[in-house]
Each structure stands twice: as structure tokens, then as C-alpha cells.
Amino acid sequence: MAITLVTLCCSSGGSVCFGQEETPPPKDTTAPPEEKPVADKHELFHKYIENSLGPEGVLTGALSAAFDQWRNSPEAWGGGSIAYSKRWASDYAESAIGDTTKYFVARLLHQDPSYQRCQCTGFGPRLGHAVSSVFRARNRDGEWVLSPAVAAGIATSSVVPASTWYPYENGMQDGLKHAGTAFASKIGVRVFREFVHLPKILQ
């Protein structure tokens, strides 16, 4: 009887030991990372500061200013480094005004318009995500939806400069053209962020 109990204990202990020593299956490194949850109002404000006044806003202004410098628009500012500085400051302020409006409207709609890398794989889907992300935001359920916040931001970024500091010759018509340039620059920044992994401080 004792021998039988000892045998059962050993076999049970061995099973437990073997069970504990089993290694977990390797993680699938090809699977996309889990998407971050939708930001609350405090996180949304932090994202607004980062995306509007941080590196994305700076890069958007730099690209827009370079394109305007190449087109010599507006002509009243001429060329050279001083003219580029004026264009960069104007485009940076324009981008900040548009993003401020966008985040404000998104907050009223309980949406998160901040950029996040695609959870998909492949060049085509990732490129499509980066381009379309400028038109969309995530709702409370984390789903990407078309957002009127973007249109509100574009409209504001065109109206305010046209009626204040920017020397438009044709008024609102030139303002809308300039908004298109800034919009294309923002798409370029999103594509850059999708495929180039920047240090955390620059994201």
C-alpha cells in the first residue's frame, strides 16, 4: 500500500513538474501590434499639443513653406532665407489654427483625430491608411470614421490667414489654394510617420 502511494505521488509530482517546465509557444512576430485605445479628454489634449505644436506641425510648416518658396507665393515676400522664414511662420501658424479647430470639433463629437500607425501589413494598405487618416478619426468604439472635424480645420486654416496676415491678391481663392498645399504637406508628413520609425521624442 505504501509503495502504491509513493508511486502515485511520484507520478503526480512528475506530471506537475513537467507541466511547469513546458515553455509557452513563441509569439507571432508578423502580427501587427494592438491598437491603442481611444484617448480620453486629457490624453486628447496632450495629443493635440504634440501633433499641432510639436514635430508634426513643424514638419508640415516646413514642407508647405518649401513648396511656397519654390512657387514664390506670395510674391510680396520675395525669395531668400528671410522670405522662407516668413512663409514657415505663416504655414506653421496656419497648421496650428487648423489643428486647434479640428481637435475642438473632434472633442465635441467624442472622436480621436490623432495619427496612429496602421495595424495592417503591406505597403499598399499602410500607404492608404496614412493618406486617408487625414480625413478620418476614431469614434468611441475605436472605429475609423469620416470626421467633419477635418473639414472644419481646413476651412478655419484658410479663412483666418486670408483675413489677417497673409498678403493674398485674390482673397479667399488664393486662401483655398494655399490650404490645398498645406493639406498635401500634412499627408506627406503622415506617410513619413507611417514608414519611418522616429524616436519617441519626435513622434
- Beta-bridged to residue 146, according to DSSP, are 136
pLDDT tens digits, one per residue of 15-64:
434 344 455 555 444 444 455 667 777 888 888 888 788 887 888 889 88
CA nearest neighbour of 49 among 114, 107, 109:
114
Averaged pLDDT score across all residues of the chain: 78
* Other C-beta atoms lying within 10 Å of the C-beta of residue 43: 14
Between 57 and 100, the more confident residue is 100
Give the mean model confidence (pLDDT) for residues 63-81: 90
Between 2 and 26, the more confident residue is 26
CA dihedral 101, 203, 123, 91 (to 10 degrees): 40
pLDDT tens digits, one per residue of 127-139:
999 999 988 999 8
For the cut 90, the answer to whether the pLDDT of residue 162 exceeds it is no
Confidence of residue 151 (pLDDT cuts 50, 70, 90): confident
* Other C-beta atoms lying within 10 Å of the C-beta of residue 60: 28
* Other C-beta atoms lying within 10 Å of the C-beta of residue 3: 7
Give the mean model confidence (pLDDT) for residues 121-150: 91
Domain map (residue ranges) of the chain:
37-202
- Beta-bridged to residue 197, according to DSSP, are none
Confidence of residue 183 (pLDDT cuts 50, 70, 90): confident
So what's the pLDDT on residue 26?
55
